[in-house]
Amino acid sequence: MQEYFFQNIDYLCVPGSATSPCEDLVHVNEDWLLLMDGASPLAPSSMEPSDAAWFVREADRLLSSRIHLPLMEALRDSMKLIRRSWKGTSENMPSSGIVFLRLVQGDLQYLLLGDCTLSLELVDGSFFTVEDDALCRLDRIALAELQNHAARLGKFPGQCLPLIQETLRRHRDLRNTPDGYYILDPSGRGMPYSKTGSIPARKIRSVFLTTDGFSQLREFTGESFSSLHKRAKKEGLSSLLGELHHMQEQDSSFDRLPRFKFRDDATSIIAKVMRKGDLV
């Protein structure tokens, strides 16, 4: 019998643009949580409404029907089926960051792959963050190039985005290689490099999951992820997203914070971990 549950769940999944499909995904339940951040395609899409949007929705559908399996097995089976349905080339397969949590037999099991972030608040008041910086390191290289172009041409960074598209394509080609980064795609090649773990649920007070589109707020503010977790609990996700949107609007030239899009899709989940007898 399930002893622990996710409760007081707050979540949002907000597209960055009114004219493009949302390529993030969120799925919440009492005993499992899923957050995905699809990578926007750099080539014309083969699937509708976009390769990334199609991929995260198919992954959600297939994972939901395999939730009884071990996390890695459920993910591996789902990727095999998606690979059969993919209509594009192997070079242009869609990809996504993912955080997958499950409460089972008194433990919280987690799996993270790609540039999403997971924060766990422990009952002793400390915070434990799970993230992978590999893709962020490549992004910093591309953003430094963007700033160099802006300085050389006397323009704002946002005006120079077309000049770094080749760098972005080179970095995308490093997907699931030792010199690049690991992420979820239908090939499953990145899956062995997932960050996984299991922690007794009794030791956890709350969980906080974000895509990089939401956690961009801390790049504006300079705060730690544990600080963002605390604020999410106190202020709510919608309040933090409103703050982020305001900062993006005040930085429409990308001068304060160089980035690849004016506004990315933003997705987050925060929830308490509670024992059945403590539910009210």
Burial class from Cβ neighbours inside 10 Å (0-12, 13-18, 19+) for residue 279 reads: exposed
Token match 């493009």: residue? Answer: 20
pLDDT value at residue 44: 85
Are 135 and 112 a contacting pair, CB within 8 Å?
no
Q: pLDDT tens across 123-176, in order?
A: 999 999 999 999 989 999 999 999 999 999 999 999 999 999 999 999 999 999
**Looking at the predicted structure, is the pLDDT value of residue 224 above 80?**
yes
CB atoms near residue 119 (< 10 Å): 23
Percent of the chain with pLDDT over 70: 99
Residues 6+ apart with CB under 8 A from 77: 62, 66, 69
Q: pLDDT tens across 67-93, in order?
A: 999 999 999 999 999 999 999 998 899
pLDDT category at 2 given cuts 50, 70, 90 is confident
Euclidean distance between CA atoms 77 and 186, whole angstroms = 10
Token match 């080609």: residue? Answer: 173
Cα dihedral 45/47/49/54 (nearest 10): -110
Euclidean distance between CA atoms 212 and 139, whole angstroms = 12
**Looking at the predicted structure, is the pLDDT value of residue 280 above 70?**
no
pLDDT value at residue 1: 64
The bridge status of strand 266-275 relative to strand 4-14 is: antiparallel
Strands annotated E in 18-159: 24-28, 32-38, 96-104, 107-113, 117-122, 127-131
Burial class from Cβ neighbours inside 10 Å (0-12, 13-18, 19+) for residue 133 reads: exposed
Cα dihedral 210/214/219/221 (nearest 10): -110
Residue count (the chain): 280
pLDDT value at residue 91: 87
State the number of CA atoms in the 13 A half-sphere of 253 facing the CB.
7
pLDDT value at residue 86: 95
Are 210 and 115 a contacting pair, CB within 8 Å?
no
Euclidean distance between CA atoms 55 and 69, whole angstroms = 20
DSSP assignment of 192-239: GG-EEEEEEGGGEEEEEEE-HHHHHHHHHH---HHHHHHHHHHH-HHH
Residue 124's SS3 state is: coil
Q: What are phi and psi of 125, to 5 degrees?
A: 95, -5
CB atoms near residue 105 (< 10 Å): 11
